[in-house]
A and B are shown apart, each in its own frame.
Chain A
Amino acid sequence: MNTFFQTLIVGLRLGSIYALVALGYTMVYGIIRLINFAHGDFIMVGGYTMIFVMPLMLRLGLPAWLGVLAAIVVCALVGMGTELIAYRPVRRKGTNMTALITAIAMSLFLENLAQAIPAIGPNPKVSSQIFGNGGFKLGTVTMEYTTVITLVISGIVMLVLYAFTQRTRLGRAMRCVSEDKAAATLMGINVNSTILLTFGIGSGLAAIAALMYMAQYPKVYTTMGALLGLKAFVSAVLGGIGIIPGAMLGGIVIGLVESFTTSYISSSMADTFVFLILIVVLIIKPAGILGKNVGEKV
């Protein structure tokens, strides 16, 4: 029973990291129907930003995790820059497929650019301790502080984001642009700046995910976003891509599947099961758990 709860908590922690990244995929997909393959690499950008900023924070006597603020800003800028320089021109001239290929190219570009920068290089860097060590006992289950903080922060971030999209002017504008760009622009909504904002928010979330990830696995390397991003993408598809609560749900499900497979079957099978789940869901419910299967109108 003890193993079960421990596994459950690890799964929730992992899942909330996936969920944060999946939100970035889903928000961008929702608004411009583009799978932003470079999104996983924004985690790497956030990770390295913190590697460089955290020693600075510690020297100033501030907690290391405050480095995430710098990472959010840098990630948001990189995300918006990617949209401005790479995606927007392609979207104007090309098709959805051109944009998709551009996204894959952006991903490879960011990974290789990072390797080419001397201060980063191809070798992994180890981060300093982010949150305090240790934890407390809840019955027989050990709760690490890192886990508690990860769960709390991601919970808050998701609630704020959901309220933002439902309750605010910019959130409403985002939903309008996602539903009908032409009608949105005729209601006085600046579609391009709304898309830019979406990229900024989505990429900022990747920075928060990077913080959570590094708190658990304190190692940063240039391709760290590849598999993490892929699993988050699977989460987004699983929950129903383009649907914000879907990304949260999908992330948690994938995290749980991974941790339970690791605990009860085999750690080497964890990724196999994650992708198996994706295949099964796509066969049974192609639109994802929360997605609506809409028949083509004729």
Chain B
Amino acid sequence: MAEERVPVLETRKLGISFGGLKAVTDFNIQIFPGELVGLIGPNGAGKTTVFNLLTGVYAPTEGTVLLNGKPLNGKKTYQFVEAGIARTFQNIRLFKEMSVIENVKVACTKDLHYGLFSASLRTPKFWKTEKELTEKAMSLLEICNLADVAELPAASLPYGRQRKLEIARALATDMKVLLLDEPAAGMNPTETAELLTCINTIRDRFGIAILLIEHDMSLVMNVCERIQVLDYGQTIAAGSPAEVAANPSVIAAYLGE
């Protein structure tokens, strides 16, 4: 069958070396809209490096990242975000001094079309856009169950809710691909379950593609349709959760031979 669908995110022979160290080599992945793909691997396998390559934080030394079939080579990080890739961080990096809703609003860069001129003169256009912005931010907070704390400083939220706020903030960039870097790290089972619901809601509602790095195997096995396994910067396995779990080299990488 001829497959007509274009993957929303694709990498071709993506790799990066730091000096003589090849952190990631020959990384190929295709993610289609609405898909949830897991990226797993032991510590130091290069998972976060892949995320940094996918968001333009690192410039790849080989290969390309394509978004909807268009290469993103040479673009700056904020242009990757404009193009439609957003991420959360392994360690929470919210703007702590700002309120919860402001954290979401800052990421809505695409919705704002008023310039410095309208902003300083407070033209009606400014108020209108600001109002729409607040509404959008609130609706994202509602999806992530954060509407009740919108006005509180981000730093005052408990850990699990800060994680969700990171997701809400990433959603505000109107991305096509969402990269989640260990979203369940440090969460208790209840929080993880809530997060799972949140991730599923987002995917169904926005039809976006999600790439997930996670150590919590039960989470990965439960939600991901496909899993790709990295070890020492190389893809050692890819396939459905069941296939990957049964793959001898994956078991070897995790448990040692």
Contacts and interface: CB of A to CB of B under 8 A. Distances in A.
A160 interface: yes
A167 B94 CA distance: 18
Contacts of A296: none
A38 interface: no
Nearest to A180: B93
Of the candidates A169, A170, A180, the one having the most CB atoms from chain B within 10 angstroms of its own CB is A169
Interface in A181-202: 182-191, 197
B106 A187 contact: yes
Contacts of B98: 172, 175-176, 179
Interface in A48-92: none
B112 interface: yes
A173 interface: yes
A160 B130 contact: no
Contacts of B76: 185, 190
B225 interface: no
A168 interface: yes
Interface residues of A, number: 24
A164 interface: yes
Given A172-B106, A185-B77, A188-B82, A164 B120 contact: yes
B89 A183 contact: yes
A170 B119 contact: yes
Given A179-B95, A179-B97, A183-B89, A164 B78 contact: no
Interface in B106-126: 106-107, 109-110, 112, 114, 116, 119-120, 126
Contacts of B86: 186-188
Interface in A150-185: 160, 164, 167-173, 175-176, 179-180, 182-185
B81 interface: yes
Given A176-B95, A179-B95, A168 B119 contact: yes
B110 A188 contact: yes
Contacts of B47: none
Dominant SS among interface residues on chain A: helix
Contact of B106 (A164, A176, A182, A190): A176
B93 A182 contact: yes
Interface-central residue, A173, A176, A197, by most chain B CB under 10 Å: A176
B130 A167 contact: yes
A124 B171 CA distance: 58
A170 B105 CA distance: 11
A172 B119 contact: no
Given A176-B106, A182-B93, A187 B173 contact: yes
B95 A169 contact: no
Interface string B146-160: 000000000000000
A170 B81 CA distance: 17
A58 to B, nearest CB: 28
B196 interface: no
Contacts of B55: 186
Contacts of A172: 98, 102, 105-106
A175 B119 contact: no
A188 B112 CA distance: 12
B156 to A, nearest CB: 15
Interface in B80-98: 81-82, 86-87, 89, 93-98
A178 to B, nearest CB: 9
A185 B78 contact: yes
Most B-side CB within 10 Å, residue of A168, A179, A188, A197: A188
Given A187-B81, A188-B82, A189-B106, 7 more contacts: A169-B106, A186-B55, A186-B57, A187-B172, A188-B86, A188-B110, A190-B76
Interface of A: 160, 164, 167-173, 175-176, 179-180, 182-191, 197
Would you list the 10 A-B pairs with minimal beta carbon distance, nearest first?
A: A188-B81, A183-B93, A187-B107, A168-B119, A188-B109, A185-B77, A172-B106, A169-B112, A190-B78, A179-B95
5 contacts: A173-B106, A187-B107, A187-B172, A190-B76, A197-B116
Interface of B: 55, 57, 76-78, 81-82, 86-87, 89, 93-98, 102, 105-107, 109-110, 112, 114, 116, 119-120, 126, 130, 169-170, 172-173
